[in-house]
Structure 1
Amino acid sequence: MKRLTIRARLTLVYGGLFLLAGIVLLAVTYVLVEQRMPGTFGVQVNGVNPPPGSPGTPRLITPDNAEQLRIFARQIQDEARERALQTLLTQGGVALAIVSATAFAFGWLIAGRALQPLHQITGTARRIAGADTAGRGLHERIALDGPRDEVKELADTFDLMLERLDQSFDGQRRFVANASHELRTPLALNRSLLELAITRPDAPAELKQLGDTLLAVNERHERLIDGLLTLADSEQQVVDRTPIDLAEVVGHVAEQLRTELPVHRHLASARTAGDPVLLERLTQNLLENALRHNVPAGGQVWVSTGTVDGWATLVVANTGPVVPGYEVETMFQPFRRLRQERVGGGRGFGLGLSIVRAVAGAHGGSVRAEPRQGGGLVVTVLLPAEASIRTVPDNLPSTSAPAAAISTATSTVPALPHNGLPISNGGGTPQPARRR
């Protein structure tokens, strides 16, 4: 019973009660009819003269003939009684079966009609939760019409909750906008004053050294604020989408990197649609993390793009310290880093992968990371391909990327032999990023 839907359970309850009532009614009718039917005729036939003119009959019925007549009459009465009761049961049972089947059918229709307001509430909740890309948000309301019953009270309570959530998120957005201005302005002013102070011709060496240190601290604070604002903006569903190729984004970001580590690129067309600024930030965070968290010497980074099963894929792998499997998921949480990196202050703020997951989720995609054999990390990003964006189901959650697509995408990451050189897997000749 627990596996049945509410509509099926209501139909069974309605039809079952109707069937039970019909069985009880048929049983009561059977008992009443049986009691009302006479048991014997009770006619005195001894000494009765037959009607005149009956040829071949004696003038008087003997006692033996009378007894035989009583037995014959009782047999006829019993057979008629049994036939009547059997007909009552048979015809009543057939009628009950037909009416019960009709009752079950009407019960299914009535249950669907009664649950229609719940479907409306569910559809509104799905749209608000971002299951589709129609651009609806917390401003939408159920506004259920009808009598003041339990379902109407539920819909009104849900609308009240949505109104409060809408006000809360509006306040959060206003706070982010105000914080963006109020926090960036004094930091920009501090940077200008420090640059002006250390560039004076008569500035002593101690002042220039102190200014350089304060500029580094100021730049760190600016990057922290920029990361927090990007994380807050990327947690909202992307409505205005622009066709974009992840291969072009990766190529552009890789050209801007300033690193001595080789970045091997295996770039195939991976067309999707989304916000170009957020997707560029996603790619930049992945590559910067792969370069920052790497081995001191001989480290390498691999990045590949492609399309697998209707998903645009971006895979970034690197050499580096061994990452425990139980700590991979915590790395996607804000301000969380590996245990051996928490004591260092120059390795970022722990927002890189959080921003990556938020941006991917805002585009209807997903992110998965797994430790790389021999050390390092393999991060796989899956976004809906441009041709399949319009065919993605409305109830597809952001973490439901097919496991086969993820497995195929990560299979493009080469392994490292003992000599430290990458093994190409047929994805093209590795192209190191331009060093600057």
Structure 2
Amino acid sequence: MSLRLRLTVLYGGLFLLAGVVLLGVTYLLFTQQVGRRVTVLIGTPPPGLAALPFPEGLDAQARQVREAAATSLLTQGGIALAAVAVLAAAVGWLVAGRALAPLRQVTETARRIAAAADPGGHERIALRGPEDEVKNLADAFDVMVERLDRSFDAQRRFVANASHELRTPLTLNRSLVEVAMHRRTASDDVRQLGTKLLQINARHEKLISGLLLLARSESALTERCPVDLAAIASHVVPPGVQEDLGDATALGDALMLERLVHNLVENGIRHNVEGGWVRVATRTRLPSVELEVTNSGPVIPPSEVPALFDPFHRRARVAADGAGLGLSIVRSVAHAHGGEVAATARPEGGLVVVVSLPAA
């Protein structure tokens, strides 16, 4: 039961219990007093007079009157108590709802902040009212959200600034290596070393680009427009990948959604077995659209599936091929669009990843 219902039952139960006790005490006092008065009026003669004989049926009639009055008291009192108990429960329901209204405001605000793309969020409860326990709770929640907002903003700025700063030396390194490799006097050893250095540099550049995109995707979207996921998938999917592209128009940022599809398809191709397959499907299931990427990769224990979306998580077999940000970017982009990502390990091997996004 909800807290409001529990409070209503508590109020109504206490009132009903008090009413039953009051009715019982009234019944006892009433029967005692009526019996005493009947005895005085019938069985006790006035002072100075002898006891007069009276019919035997008079005492029985007096008992009947007393029992009828007591029964009437219980019946009418019980009916009145039941009616007033129902009224008290209704009033308790209204009073409990009014008392819990600030708590509902706190809960709804917390849910909106938790469901927002921006982890910190800029919404606050800002509860107005007397300085009571609920107001103190709301103020403490606002302080906590404010600190989280500053923390997330500082983290995103640090990642973005560091990534920008690292791009310049990586670009310079690539240029110097390419110049050294293309000299006429360059030996084969120099060219082989230059090739390896370019590969390492390209991997670092990919890592930096991934960090920048990850930092950007963790911020709330400012502009949204209809985006055809089927068209993006048909453009991104390379030859050899199975396609089942139905109508699926999402609402969001086209460049970020293109990167989401690219990362999922690339992940399905990279983490696969020799001779395996990859299938991409799009469909509409209002109020959402879905993108599903399935592959026939190696067997993955179900307990390891959630860790695949952690940043810098890489499987040992392909540790040197990626930066470990592909699925992390997919999850961040989906959350920035108000969507969700669900991954399921196939018993025969491979992974099924389903991205749900709000339909346009």
Range into which the TM-score falls when normalised by the shorter chain: 0.7 to 0.9
Name the counterpart of 1:30.
Answer: 27
**Structure 1 position 127, deviation (Å):** 1.6
**Structure 1 position 111, deviation (Å):** 0.4
- Any idea what SS the aligned residue of 1:348 has? coil
Is contact 1:127–1:137 with CA below 8 Å preserved after alignment? no
**Pair 1:16-2:2 in alignment:** no
**92-101 vs 377-386, greater mean Cα deviation:** 377-386
Among 316, 337, 340, the alignment partner of 1:366 is 340
The letter of the residue matching 1:7 is R
Among 162, 166, 188, the alignment partner of 1:183 is 166
Among 262, 268, 289, the alignment partner of 2:246 is 268
**Structure 1 position 30, deviation (Å):** 2.0
- Aligned runs of 1:68-79 on 2, under 5 Å? 68-69=54-55, 71-79=56-64
Q: Distance in 1 between matches of 2:298 and 2:81?
A: 76
Among 307, 332, 335, the alignment partner of 2:284 is 307
Among 38, 43, 46, the alignment partner of 2:45 is 43
- Aligned runs of 1:265-414 on 2, under 5 Å? 265-296=243-274, 298-308=275-285, 310-338=287-315, 341=317, 344-371=318-345, 375-386=349-360
**Structure 1 position 150, deviation (Å):** 1.1
- Any idea what SS the aligned residue of 1:121 has? helix
Q: Distance in 1 between matches of 2:304 and 2:148?
A: 33
Q: Distance in 2 between matches of 1:376 and 1:33?
A: 83
TM-score of the superposed pair, with normalisation by structure 2:
0.87
What is the RMSD of the two structures over their aligned residues, measured on CA atoms?
2.8
Is contact 1:40–1:74 with CA below 8 Å preserved after alignment? no
Among 89, 98, 105, the alignment partner of 2:83 is 98
Structure 1: unaligned runs, 5 residues or longer: 49-62, 387-436
**Structure 1 position 44, deviation (Å):** 5.9
Task: State percent identity of aligned pairs.
Answer: 55
- Any idea what SS the aligned residue of 2:131 has? coil
Is contact 1:363–1:383 with CA below 8 Å preserved after alignment? yes
Is contact 1:328–1:371 with CA below 8 Å preserved after alignment? yes
| Structure number with larger C-alpha Rg | 1
The letter of the residue matching 1:328 is V
- Aligned runs of 1:50-61 on 2, under 5 Å? none
**Structure 1 position 325, deviation (Å):** 4.4
Is contact 2:11–2:92 with CA below 8 Å preserved after alignment? yes
**Pair 1:164-2:164 in alignment:** no
- Aligned runs of 1:130-141 on 2, under 5 Å? 130=115, 138-141=121-124
* Residues 304/100 of structure 1: CA separation in 2 closer, same or farther (3 Å cut): closer
Q: Distance in 2 between matches of 1:208 and 1:16?
A: 88
The letter of the residue matching 2:336 is A
**197-206 vs 11-20, greater mean Cα deviation:** 197-206
The letter of the residue matching 2:143 is L
The letter of the residue matching 1:202 is T
The letter of the residue matching 2:342 is R
- Aligned runs of 1:242-257 on 2, under 5 Å? 242-254=225-237, 257=238
Name the counterpart of 1:67.
Answer: 53
- Any idea what SS the aligned residue of 2:40 has? coil
Q: Distance in 1 between matches of 2:137 and 2:64?
A: 63
- Any idea what SS the aligned residue of 2:28 has? helix
> Aligned pair count?
355
**Structure 1 position 310, deviation (Å):** 4.6
**Structure 1 position 47, deviation (Å):** 8.3
**Structure 1 position 170, deviation (Å):** 1.8
The structure in which a higher percent of residues are helix is 2
Is contact 2:276–2:297 with CA below 8 Å preserved after alignment? yes
* Residues 87/224 of structure 1: CA separation in 2 closer, same or farther (3 Å cut): same
**Structure 1 position 223, deviation (Å):** 1.0
The letter of the residue matching 1:43 is P
